[in-house]
Amino acid sequence: MSIIANLFLSISVVFNDILLQIPMADTFRSEGKIYVVIGIILILLIGFFLYLWRVDKKLDKLEDEIKNK
């Protein structure tokens, strides 16, 4: 569980550093919308990595089936 927490923390720090350099981020930050943007990006990234993990597991299963034939 601590690995996931560290991943979230490192991703949020990276996005925070990137967003500090973008003028549009100042508007989002002043209106409090920056956290919504970061949250959506994190949700999309997590979903993408979970999808890749599931595809990898399915491919491993198919490779095992081919090897056993």
Domain boundaries, the chain: 2-68
Give CA–CA dist 35/52, Å, rounded: 26
Instruction: List pLDDT tens digits, range 16-47.
Output: 666 666 677 677 777 778 788 889 999 999 99
Give CA–CA dist 1/8, Å, rounded: 11
Helix (H), strand (E) at residue 8: helix 2-19
Tell me: pLDDT of 50 over 80.
yes
Query: Cβ neighbours of residue 45 under 8 Å, at least 6 residues apart?
Result: 11
**pLDDT value of residue 23:** 72
